[in-house]
Amino acid sequence: MTNEHMIVELYAEVVESWPCDAVAIGVYDGGQPQKIVETSCKEWSKDIDEVLASGWFKGKEGEFMVLPLNRTAGVGPSGVLLMGLGKESSITLQTLENTGARLVKIARDHGIARLGCLIPLNRHNGISRGASVRHLAQGAWLGSYRFDRFKSKNREENPDEAVAVTLELAVPSQKKEQLHKKLARWQAICDGQCLARDLGNLPGNLLTPEGMAEQARKIAESFPIQVTVWDEKILKNNRMNGILAVGQGSMHPPRLIIMEYRQGGDRPLLAVVGKAITFDSGGISLKPGAKMEEMKFDMAGGAAVLGFMQAIASMQLEVNVVGLVPSAENLPSGTAQRPGDVIETASGQWVEVINTDAEGRLILADALHHAQTYKPDMIVDLATLTGACVVALGQEASGLMGYDKKLLRRLARAGKRVGELLWPLPLLAGYQDLLKSPVADMKNVGGRDAGAITGGCFLSRFVEKSIPWAHIDIAGTAWDMSGKKPVQPKGATGVGVRLLCRFAEKELQ
């Protein structure tokens, strides 16, 4: 992870004696500075008013201006950074995250090592003060993330990247300690998300199923997490033919990674299952070449599970979670599975493999089945399962499926709170019928129609109806190659980590 040069600190509210190089001040579209400015920095308000009255600075989102301010005392900030926030009425969590990310970038570009920040500390459109601070800080951390370990010359070419930036947030002194604790938690969550990004960004030659297992073991070195890794032999003994069949075409053998974190006494147990195909070529049902390299991200569900486990352990949440990550590489070869193969999954149900590219559901079938042996109170799976989900929802929301309304509602609420939207897709009985096979209990594909849903229908058959279960299809949200979001450099997003952390905080403890 490479956002270690980003520090968020808290500083007591007396702004004029801040030992920072500049102070960032939020300005709404229309040239109105945030209210806090009038009360906190009377000394500058005349200068700022003059600039705003000139009409040169409009307060559009992302617009900024750096003003040097000569100060007589020689202490405190020597400049002001006006930061456009857009219309006050349209501020969202995303605006705040973008602002956090932009502030760090501007500070780096201008050599501002310590930037005081007067930006998010009021309520916006139902976003609480706490949530505002949280998203500004998380935006700063997530936006500072870079995956540059394969750019040997990076440090020389972009020396700015190495400059540490400290963002100082003004908080009332009586709230400082409380907020300090929260900051540490928020950072732990972002670290988990950045771990998920790192794993996602690693290509198939450098991150194999055994590599995923090593990462899980590494996390367990620092935290009270018990890791068990099943190799081919144990998978075979447990009749996990879904995982084995998908992995049999690759020289890198498949694994089932199990991570147990039990710090919640008799509180409910969550089982979270993440698809981890370290590279998905489609297998014998080979994918077309265009963008096939993006299939290195096909382990994003598993990566989210690892990032989530690390985050809750590092926050010392008093919860019970078991993470299961089935991992394989889907390649065509002389040993690969064929279309038409029939396999007996760990559940005893037989599957006719029509398309070897519908491999995620085969490894998840075994992992979901096995998850039930832990007697969880609920099961949630995350998977880059279908291209059809990207067609349905694009990059704006992940697909949410399942039969337990209450669990779906809780997950959707958590997603909304952290800005990782989930959108429901219905698992109607008629869609289940599309999976009928003439030779086995089911086929692994349902045809072109409702592809995201038939994927969900397939998975539903491996979880007892009595256990609340939800499937989250992150195919459209797990990576972003647009480079257009301030908080998101091109590559893996680490989606799922913040969602699951929020869910664990609110629903498991």
Residue ranges binding Zn ion (CB under 5 A): 277, 280, 298, 360
CB of 438 to Mn ion, least distance (A): 23
Q: Which residue has the tokens 């705003």?
A: 52
Q: Residues 121, 504, 310, 389: is their CA dihedral positive or negative? A: negative
Q: Which helix (H) or strand (E) holds 101?
A: helix 93-109
SS3 state of residue 352: strand
Q: How many residues bind ligand BES (CB under 6 A)?
A: 16
The reply on whether position 357 binds Mn ion by CB under 5 A is yes
Q: Contact, 437 vs 449, CB < 8 A?
A: no
287 is catalytic: yes
Comparing CB distances to Zn ion, the nearer of 91 and 256 is 256
Comparing CB distances to Mn ion, the nearer of 29 and 280 is 280
Q: Contact, 367 vs 324, CB < 8 A?
A: yes
- Binding mask 262-281 toward Mn ion (x if CB under 5 A, else -) reads ------------------x-
The reply on whether position 386 binds ligand BES by CB under 6 A is yes
Comparing CB distances to ligand BES, the nearer of 320 and 477 is 477
CB of 352 to ligand BES, least distance (A): 13
Dist CA 164 CA 147 (whole Å):
17
Dist CA 410 CA 320 (whole Å):
17
Residue nearest to Mn ion (CB): 357
Q: Which of Mn ion, ligand BES, Zn ion, none interacts with 21 (beta carbon under 5 to 8 A by kind)?
A: none
- Binding mask 300-339 toward Mn ion (x if CB under 5 A, else -) reads ----------------------------------------
Comparing CB distances to ligand BES, the nearer of 298 and 480 is 298
- Output the six-digit token pair for 156: 């020389």
Dist CA 46 CA 30 (whole Å):
18
Q: Which residue has the tokens 């002001």?
A: 80
- Which of 48, 270, 317, 388 forms a contact with ligand BES (CB under 6 A)? 388
Bridge-based pairing of strands 32-33 and 64-68 is unpaired
The reply on whether position 382 binds ligand BES by CB under 6 A is no
**Nearest to residue 507, comparing CAs of 229, 269, 332?**
269
The reply on whether position 387 binds ligand BES by CB under 6 A is yes
The reply on whether position 61 binds ligand BES by CB under 6 A is no
Dist CA 189 CA 498 (whole Å):
6
361 is catalytic: yes
Q: Contact, 485 vs 401, CB < 8 A?
A: no
CB of 368 to ligand BES, least distance (A): 16
Comparing CB distances to Zn ion, the nearer of 15 and 244 is 244
Q: How many residues bind Mn ion (CB under 5 A)?
A: 3
Alpha helix (H) residue ranges in 173-323: 176-201, 209-222, 232-237, 241-247, 300-314
Residue nearest to ligand BES (CB): 387
Comparing CB distances to Mn ion, the nearer of 97 and 359 is 359
CB of 362 to ligand BES, least distance (A): 10
**Nearest to residue 276, comparing CAs of 378, 353, 359?**
359
* Cα radius of gyration (the chain): 25
Dist CA 403 CA 358 (whole Å):
22
Q: Which of Zn ion, Mn ion, ligand BES, none interacts with 387 (beta carbon under 5 to 8 A by kind)?
A: ligand BES
Q: Which of Mn ion, Zn ion, ligand BES, none interacts with 260 (beta carbon under 5 to 8 A by kind)?
A: none
Phi-psi region of 419 (alpha: psi -120 to 50; beta: other; left: phi over 0): left
Question: Cα torsion for 459, 465, 469, 470, to the nearest 10°?
Answer: 50
Comparing CB distances to ligand BES, the nearer of 260 and 359 is 359
The reply on whether position 434 binds ligand BES by CB under 6 A is no
CB of 452 to ligand BES, least distance (A): 8
**Nearest to residue 183, comparing CAs of 11, 424, 421?**
11
| Three-state secondary structure string covering 255-277 | EEEEEEEECCCCCCEEEEEECEE
Q: Contact, 272 vs 345, CB < 8 A?
A: no
The reply on whether position 381 binds Mn ion by CB under 5 A is no
- Choosing from 175, 176, 182, 287, which is the catalytic residue? 287
Q: Which of Mn ion, Zn ion, ligand BES, none interacts with 103 (beta carbon under 5 to 8 A by kind)?
A: none
Q: Which of Mn ion, Zn ion, ligand BES, none interacts with 355 (beta carbon under 5 to 8 A by kind)?
A: ligand BES
The reply on whether position 357 binds ligand BES by CB under 6 A is yes
Dist CA 259 CA 309 (whole Å):
8
Comparing CB distances to Mn ion, the nearer of 97 and 366 is 366
CA angle 500, 247, 458 (to 5 degrees): 55
Comparing CB distances to Mn ion, the nearer of 259 and 331 is 331
User: Which 277-316 residues touch ligand BES, going by CB under 6 A?
Assistant: 280, 298
- Which of 61, 260, 359, 480 forms a contact with ligand BES (CB under 6 A)? 359
Dist CA 307 CA 320 (whole Å):
16
The reply on whether position 475 binds ligand BES by CB under 6 A is yes
Q: Contact, 263 vs 314, CB < 8 A?
A: no
Dist CA 252 CA 207 (whole Å):
10
The reply on whether position 424 binds ligand BES by CB under 6 A is no
Binding site for Mn ion (CB under 5 A): 280, 357, 359
Active site residues: 287, 361
Binding site for ligand BES (CB under 6 A): 280, 298, 355, 357-360, 384-388, 390, 445, 451, 475
